[in-house]
Amino acid sequence: MKLTDPAVDISLFSLPIGKKDIFCEEKPLVLEIGFGEGEFLIDAARCDASRNYLGIEIKRGRFRKAVRAAEKLSLGNLRFLHIEAEIALRQVFRERMFDLVLVNFPDPWPKKRHSKHRMFNREFITCLAKVLAGGGRAVIKTDQLSYIEQIVSEFERSRLFRTAYPPPGFIEAQTGETETKFEKHFREASQKIFSADFLNLPS
Ligand SMILES: C[S@@+](CC[C@H](N)C(=O)[O-])C[C@H]1O[C@@H](n2cnc3c(N)ncnc32)[C@H](O)[C@@H]1O
């Protein structure tokens, strides 16, 4: 693996992997789950050399597209991993290695009969708490009101996090400096975007 190769090959390491396996320089580490084609993370890494950025994505085609785009930039603080999120959190990452976890527009599964497929359930939140440093944060954005309400109630029920915002536990997000592909799409359609921010309580 070259120093600036954006694709992480976990077969080269014994599990769980830690920050030093992925990045040469020790810096605060941001994880984006479900990065899509990676535009948001590429922009973030390019604009902010003070942090390392790791993205995970389940779809191979999207992962490859992000890697191809990042290869042209040779950024030392940006890496991508093709993996399913819960497997990564449960089995691949070392405990407490992330300072911030971002989930931008998780698949919404809006139909009631599909809601069991939603990412944020009790097990997932427990895994998230383990890989976040004490005082680390999980920030989630979605255009689905029912999903953000469910997310807030699952985080509160877990007792592993403190909600940063007062009731109802989320805000209507204003335009960010860096928007994801889905965020641009929803804003163009004048849809509301909701954001929640959870602080990991030290165990
Ligand atoms: C609605 S898209 C949002 C993409 C991007 N974050 C954005 O805002 O433009 C959700 C993304 O999460 C990925 N995804 C869904 N479930 C996942 C999982 N269990 N593990 C990793 N990625 C996942 C999907 O493949 C898809 O790229």
Average pLDDT of every residue of the chain: 94
Over residues 47-73, mean pLDDT: 97
Pairwise pLDDT comparison (95 vs 115), residue with the higher score: 95
Active site residue ranges: 107
59 lines ligand 1 (CB under 6 A): yes
Distance in Å, CA 60 to ligand 1 centroid: 11
* pLDDT of the residue at 46: 96
* pLDDT of 203 higher than 80: no
Indicate the top mutation candidate among 32, 84, 107, 186 to test ligand 1's pocket, ranked by most ligand atoms within 8 A of CB: 107
β 132-142/194-200 pair status: antiparallel
Which residue stretches of the chain are H helix?
Answer: 19-22, 39-47, 60-71, 85-87, 122-131, 145-158, 181-188
102 lines ligand 1 (CB under 6 A): no
* pLDDT of 114 higher than 90: no
| 152-162 pLDDT, tens digit each | 999 999 999 99
Which distant-in-sequence residues (6+ apart) come within 8 Å of 64 by Cβ?
none
* pLDDT of the residue at 119: 95
* pLDDT of the residue at 1: 54
Pairwise pLDDT comparison (113 vs 76), residue with the higher score: 76
* pLDDT of the residue at 163: 97
181 lines ligand 1 (CB under 6 A): yes
- The pLDDT confidence band at residue 31, using thresholds 50, 70 and 90, is very high
* pLDDT of 112 higher than 90: no
| 130-176 pLDDT, tens digit each | 999 999 999 999 999 999 999 999 999 999 999 999 999 999 998 87
* pLDDT of the residue at 102: 98
* pLDDT of the residue at 156: 97
CA atoms within 13 A on the CB side of 154: 19
β 171-172/161-163 pair status: unpaired
Distance in Å, CA 31 to ligand 1 centroid: 13
* pLDDT of 9 higher than 60: yes
56 lines ligand 1 (CB under 6 A): yes
147 lines ligand 1 (CB under 6 A): no
Residue 33 near residue 56 (C-beta atoms within 8 A): yes
* pLDDT of 2 higher than 70: no
How far apart, in whole angstroms, are the C-alpha atoms of residue 119 and residue 186? 20
Task: Look at the pTM and tell me if it is higher than 0.85.
Answer: yes
* pLDDT of the residue at 3: 60
